Structure 1
Amino acid sequence: MGAFTIDEIVIPERIDAPDAGDFVRAVEVGNLVAVETYGTAEITYEPAEELSKYLDPYQPHRVFVARVDGVVVGRGTAETHRGDEADTSWVSTQVLPAFRGRGIGRALVDATETAFPGIRKAIAYVAGTELAGARLSSPTGFGSIAADARETRFLQASGYRVEQVERLSRLALPLDGLDDLLTDARRATGGDYRVHTWTGRTPDRWLEDRAVLATRMSTDAPTAGLEEPENVWTAQRIRESDDRWESNPRSRIVAAAEHLPSGRLVGYSMLSVPREAHRAVDQWATLVLREHRGHRLGMLLKVANLAHLAEVSPGHPSVLTFNAEENRPMLAVNEQLGFVAIGYEGAWRKDLT
């Protein structure tokens, strides 16, 4: 095998652009590694579905690839927040199995960690590949990863420390008794809340509230010792995100809870739905503001959005979701609905200065 090279690639404006080939191959490499790791193709995304994320001006991305004999065999991505005060980067590296052990992963990590000036901390979410053997417990006291796995040894040697474990869960569809679940959830929640649903663009009346919820998603969800920074959203940013998603083959299906006495949205649940009915749906976010927890709104929102999905895009085989292992309230909702754990990933942190 020949020597490898590391190059930064162009993030194309369109997936059919003349310069999109490297980006498409980079996504394909990521998908191949994900299938190997999780043992299911349900985890994969198409290049056209990924592109809008990489074009978000509020969360700049850089993408690097490793080539052997001109062929892309690995990829590394780095993402940060916009603004001079940004100090955190989210990094990811994947290398095809046949090309591991040659320093490619190390070179991609070096490229991603130095992609943005002024970054003090790198965060990496890395899937586990082993379920048996010695375990390394999360500092949160919830969940563990394989202590002797290849990725564990690599990350520790690279200066990362595990801070949290996330569970990947799968819900088989269709969900039996969905109407009864929705009725029970509405009864348990009480009369102070009303659910609104929509697909695609955010209704104008909810733009400000959606911005608050998106911002609070970055502060109210458990992040343990990762100390993830606040990610501020505005109504303008919500609308710009809606605009970018007009070209995405996936649709976003939303259920949101209105607190009737105040007239404000206090929780939401979002599904990312592929166009093809044979592919899995992703549970992207479910959040209830801290001050409105304890009313079973999490269950109501999830069930309402599953009912919404069954109405507007039926036939999908499953829903996949990631949750922090210490987020027991949300995991309890998932388990009650029938979600089953199928994998995990470690959330790793490296202080760069």
Structure 2
Amino acid sequence: METFRFEIEELTVPAAPQAPGWADFVAANGVRNTVEAEAYGTVDLELTADEVLPGWLNQRWEPKRLFVARTEGRIVGHGHYETLPEDSADHAWLAVGVLPEYRGRGIGTALADRLEAVAHSEGRSVQIVYAPSPDAPGERLPSPTGFGSVPLDNPEVRFLQRRGYLLEQVVRASRLPLPVDPVQLRRLGDLAALHAGPDYSVVQWIDRTPPVWLPDLAVLYSRMSTDAPSAGLAEPEQRWTPERVSQEEQKVAASPRTTLTSAVLHGPSGHLVGFTELEVPAELGRAVSQEDTLVLREHRGRRLGMLLKIANLELLTLERTGHPSVLTYNAEENRHMLTVNEAIGFAPMGYEGAWRRDAQ
């Protein structure tokens, strides 16, 4: 039998669309899109290379490396390595994907070996993987949080267990069909505003954050990394400053996507205490992505999460009506946010496992 041959190589991320390396970057992103579409049974999660490039160029705050598997000139697998800029950081986030027709030939193993070797060389002993797990019959592996499970016999589950990863959390992907009944939205928004009381109001902007709110948004982003449920992943705090917010927004401005932000202002203190973001693709036929949503712990219990989500969906209708759906991810144990989403009309579309490996 002829030996199947492939090579693992690291790609240089192109400096701009059509710059040197662009074709390989597009091909690697295509592998990611194919793998996600197979796992979730929809192309709604697809992102173009132009949309993801700004994130890859954000090396100062979120260092990343991109590896591919190539056979006979074709890119058939990708590996994504990400960590934090601090020398003392011990976490790394890894992702591997292989085109369906090329699985079972050692490509995924070779890519995982390479990513884990990079993590070891940089002293990143805590390695985290988020892996979609399509539903399947048979025995299930429960999350230690007590919420959610993944099919025990799924290939990605067996693969990660063999490599020493432990399931720490299950994440739900949800879809909201659009349009939502505006009367229902307004009813939910009015009830949330009534419950919140007069001390809270909503402020909104599109793309770049007004300078007056940059310090508050930096606090909210930092708290996003500590206040959101992370179970046994124990993901570290990410340090945000107004400078970082501004610089990242400047890079994202090169993307064809538009960011809609609604934030809740606490009148007595004059500070923002919660926010939510939607990322909107240029093409009306594509799904909108629900990004971060957070209400500071000390201001929870006032239905501010609902207030924010409704306000941003109404802003979406006002600015960019016609998109088919909104997609979002939530930890299964985050029952409060799931309850908010379900009341609005989000329904589950798939699940993924969050896995952790503590390397020696």
CA distance, structure 1, for counterparts of residue 4 and residue 211 of structure 2: 55
| 1:343 aligned partner | 350
Contact 1:62–1:115 under 8 Å retained in 2: no
Q: 1:161 maps to what in 2?
A: 166
1:272-303 C-alpha deviation (Å, 9 max, x unpaired): 11011110001111100000000000000000
Distance 2:15 2:118 in 1: 20
Q: Distance in 1 between matches of 2:135 and 2:293?
A: 28
Please state how far the C-alpha of 1:308 moved relative to its aligned partner: 0.6
Residue aligning to 1:30 = 32
Aligned to 1:77: 80
Q: Secondary structure at the match of 1:102?
A: coil
The CA deviation at 1:18 is 2.5
1:107 aligns with 2:110: yes
| Alpha-carbon shift at residue 42 of structure 1 (Å) | 0.3
Q: Aligned runs of 1:61-210 on 2, under 5 Å?
A: 61-116=64-119, 117-176=122-181, 177=183, 178-210=185-217
- Contact 1:10/1:20 (8 A) holds in 2: no
The one-letter code of the counterpart of 2:286 is: R
Q: CA deviation at 1:185?
A: 2.0
- Looking at structure 2, the residues matched to 135 and 213 of structure 1 have their Cα atoms a distance apart, in angstroms, of 36
Amino acid at match of 1:66: A
Residue 14 of structure 2: which of 8, 12, 15 is its match? 12
Find out whether 1:21 has 2:23 as its counterpart.
Answer: yes
Alpha-carbon shift at residue 181 of structure 1 (Å): 2.5
Asked if residue 222 in structure 1 is aligned to residue 221 in structure 2, the reply is no
Q: How far is 1:36 from its partner?
A: 0.8
Question: Structure 2 CA distance, aligned partners of 1:328 and 1:132?
Answer: 25
Cα offsets for 1:176-198 (capped at 9, x unmatched):
12223222221221111010011
Unaligned runs of 5+ in 1: none
Aligned AA for 1:174? Answer: P
2:50 counterpart residue number: 48
SS of the residue 2:118 aligns to: coil
Superposed displacement of residue 23, structure 1? 0.9
CA distance in 2, matches of 1:4, 1:131: 31
Alpha-carbon shift at residue 2 of structure 1 (Å): 3.8
Per-residue deviation at 1:5? 0.6
User: Does the CA-based 8 Å contact 2:136-2:154 persist in structure 1?
Assistant: no
Q: How far apart in 1 are the matches of 2:83 and 2:299?
A: 30
Counterparts of 1:146 and 1:220, CA distance in 2 = 29
Whether the 8 Å CA contact 1:124–1:349 is kept in 2: the answer is: yes
* 8 A Cα contact 1:29 1:75, kept in partner: yes
Match of 1:306 among 313, 316, 331: 313
Instruction: Give the Cα separation in 2 of the matches to 1:123 and 1:351.
Output: 9
Query: Which moves more between the two structures, 49-58 or 290-299?
Result: 49-58
- Per-residue deviation, 1:340: 0.3
Q: Which residue, 213, 216, 221 being the options, matches 2:220?
A: 213
- 1:242 maps onto 2:249 in alignment: yes
Match of 1:275 in 2: 282
- Number of positions where the alignment pairs a residue of Structure 1 with one of Structure 2: 353
In the TM superposition, residue 158 of structure 1 has moved relative to its aligned partner by 1.1
Q: Identify which of 320, 326, 333 aligns with 2:333.
A: 326
Percent identity among equivalent residues?
Answer: 51
Q: CA RMSD in A?
A: 1.0
Deviations 1:37-77 (A, max 9, x none): 10000011101101111111200100000011111000000
Query: Could you list the runs of 4 or more consecutive aligned residues of structure 1 that deviate by over 3 angstroms after TM superposition?
Result: none
Q: Distance in 2 between matches of 1:253 and 1:85?
A: 34
Taking the aligned partners of 2:318 and 2:194, their CA distance within structure 1 comes to 22
Normalising by structure 1, we get a TM-score of 0.98
Question: Structure 2 unaligned runs (5+)?
Answer: none
Report which stretch shifted further, 110-119 or 217-226. Answer: 110-119
